[in-house]
Amino acid sequence: MRVKAFAKRNLKEMLRDPLTMFFGLGFPMVLLLLMNVIQRNVPVHIFELNTLAPGIALFGLTFLALFSGLLLARDRTSAFLSRLAASPMTAADFLLGYLLPMLPVAVGQTAVCLGAAVALGLPLSWNLLAVAASLLPSALLFVALGLLCGTLFNDKQVGGMCGAILTNVTAWLAGIWFDLSLVGGPFRTVAYMLPFVHGADGAKAALAGEWAVLPEHLMWVSAWAAAVMVLAVWLFRRRLVER
Amino acid sequence: MNAIEILGLTKEYRGRRVVDALELSVPAGELFALLGVNGAGKSTTIKMLSCLVVPTEGDGLLMGRSIRTDSRRAKEVLAVSPQETAIASSLTVRENMELMAGIYGRSKGQVDQVTAQLGLKQWAKQRAKTLSGGWQRRLSIAMALVSQPEVLFLDEPTLGLDVLARRELWGVIRELKGHTTIILTTHYLEEAESLADRVGIMNQGRLRAVGTPEELKTLAGCVSFEDAFVALAGEEAAS
């Protein structure tokens, strides 16, 4: 009951923010359209829909970190979280309340992005459902990163961390716009130690039906998501009550 | 029956005592005002009693429930209206009330009752961020009341409000007296004098004097409550 009430509030706060709607749903679609137009006007194959669409669907999920981080940071820096912390809500209630409303947003984002890709010519197949499913660990990862930042920083800092740094890091290190092998060396090594490229590669593999490589990518992202979530929960619990 | 029992409550930050062995009993239904200059320890005391800060020593019992060892059950009987207006700004007035009702497991009937009690019905569908400061503060108190608390902490409830809005809120708070035990912190001495059954004056983390406004005036040998406060708080600060 407590989680439901709090999750409902968080979903409303998000959906009533026009920036959420633009960055969450509109921006990835604009990117997809733009890249598709570029592809049609260049002779080489750089932005093919079958690799671009899963990558941009992953990129769109980075905004979940911004949404969850801002929500938590605003609650924490205002007295709202103090009011709720004095209520019977537990740390688990709080985190589930922040996490659960992000999932329908993630599903909606992915559906809009893949739907736009289909409209632009991506063949309609059951594998699109597998792409959406393969992106769930990435969605959890970005929400966990947002909660971590929201626990540690104020809303302006979260805007910088999640809105600027994280989106850029994901954009460059996920292999969305270019094949990381083209750069190679330490850049590629570091990128493959981080979860972002695995999220994108997993979604690409799901679309292509390359099931054998999918578990490795999913496990890599899931391990990162779990580690970041544990850290976020631990810090949040410590900060909820002053010792 | 005492709604609040404070037993040697102490808080230290890096060896500095900001609340020092506080002892106090507040009977059920009483409105107790906690006064003091900035840094006296009022806010830390309220935060400890609201289970937001862990005491270094001592304990507090809210309706017999320990804030140290039984904080989950203590939280079931308390509510806080913080100094800063603590509302969900994008939600409507009613949605804010329903949020708190949901968290405490209260019915929609309780939401209706408190909405009517605090005169918020006309604003029920309006987003909280579009309300004036006075109405936001009223909503903040309503959100605390919807949980039907037995102990209510009002931290500077009228701070920054104009005279009319402040007087309106005094009316709301007066209506609660007798039903709910209230701890009120304020810098407005006339507010404490007008509303409180008893007043406690804190300074340097200690409770220096406790009594009705009249008793404190007699104790300090002053005609006005403000002079009594200055004498009691200032005298102790100088000692």
Mean pLDDT of B37-54: 93
With an 8 Å Cβ cutoff, are A82 and B86 in contact?
Answer: yes
Residue ranges in A121-178 assigned as alpha helix (H): 127-134, 136-152, 155-158, 167-173
Q: Are B146 and B101 in contact (CB under 8 A)?
A: yes
- Residue B236's pLDDT band (cuts 50, 70, 90): very low
pLDDT over 90 percentage in chain A: 67
Helix axes A214-240, A196-208, angle to 10 degrees: 140
Instruction: Please give the share of chain B, as a percent, with pLDDT higher than 70.
Output: 98
pLDDT at position A46 is 72
Residue A59 near residue A180, CB atoms below 8 Å: no
Overall average pLDDT of the A81-105 stretch: 93
Chain B CA closest to residue A9? B99
Residue range B45-65: average pLDDT?
Answer: 96
The encoded tokens of residue A24 equal 């969450």
What is the average pLDDT across B138-143?
A: 92
pLDDT value of residue B235: 58
- Sequence ranges of the domains in chain A: 2-240
- Reported as type and span, the H/E element at residue A220 is helix A214-240
| Angle (nearest 5°) at CA B137 between B127 and B34 | 160
Residue A9: its H or E element: helix A2-15
Is the CB of B90 less than 8 angstroms away from the CB of A12?
yes
Q: What is the mean pLDDT of residues A129-135?
A: 97
In our burial notation (b when 16+ CB lie closer than 10 A, e otherwise), range B21-41 reads: ebebebeebbbbbbbbbeebb
What is the mean predicted confidence (pLDDT) over A194-220? 96
Give B157→chain A minimum CA distance, Å. 13
The residues pairing with B59 across neighbouring beta strands, listed in sequence order, are B7
ipTM of the predicted structure? 0.88
Nearest to B50 among A16, A86, A88 (CB): A86
Cβ atoms A99, A143 nearer than 8 A? yes
Contact pairs from chain A to chain B, CB under 8 Å: 83
Indicate the pTM of the whole model.
0.88
Report the DSSP beta bridge partners of residue B103: none
DSSP three-state, residue B22 = strand
Find which of A11, A87, A93, A98 to mutate to test the B interface (most B CBs within 10 Å of its CB).
A87
In chain B the domains, ranked by start, together with CATH numbers, are 2-238 (3.40.50.300)
Inter-chain touch B47–A242, beta carbons under 8 Å: yes
Return all residues near A151 (Cβ < 8 A) that are at least 6 apart: A72, A76, A232, A235, A236, A239
CA dihedral (A135, A59, A65, A25) positive or negative: negative
* Identity of the residue in B78, B82, B104 whose CB atom sits nearest the CB atom of A79: B82
- For residue A87, list chain B residues with Cβ-Cβ distance below 8 A: 75, 79, 100, 103-104, 147
The 10s digit of each residue's pLDDT in A157-173 is 998 888 889 988 998 99
Q: Could you tell me if B141 and B158 are in contact, meaning their C-beta atoms sit under 8 angstroms apart?
A: no
Which chain A residue lies closest to B89 (C-alpha atoms)? A13
Say if the Cβ atoms of A88 and B75 lie within 8 Å. yes
> Any bridge partners for residue B57, and if so which?
B10
- Residue B114: pLDDT band (50, 70, 90) is very high
Answer whether A242 sits within 8 Å of B52, measured CB to CB: yes
Task: Spell out which chain B residues touch chain A, with contact meaning CB-CB distance below 8 angstroms.
Answer: 47, 50-54, 72, 75-76, 78-88, 90-91, 95, 98-105, 143-144, 147
CA–CA separation, B216 and A35 (whole Å): 76
How far apart (Å, rounded) are the C-alpha atoms in residues A84 and A82? 5
3-class SS letters over B33-102: EEEECCCCCHHHHHHHHCCCECCCEEEEEECCEECCCCHHHHHHHEEEECCCCCCCCCCEHHHHHHHHHH
Q: What's the average model confidence in pLDDT over B171-181?
A: 90
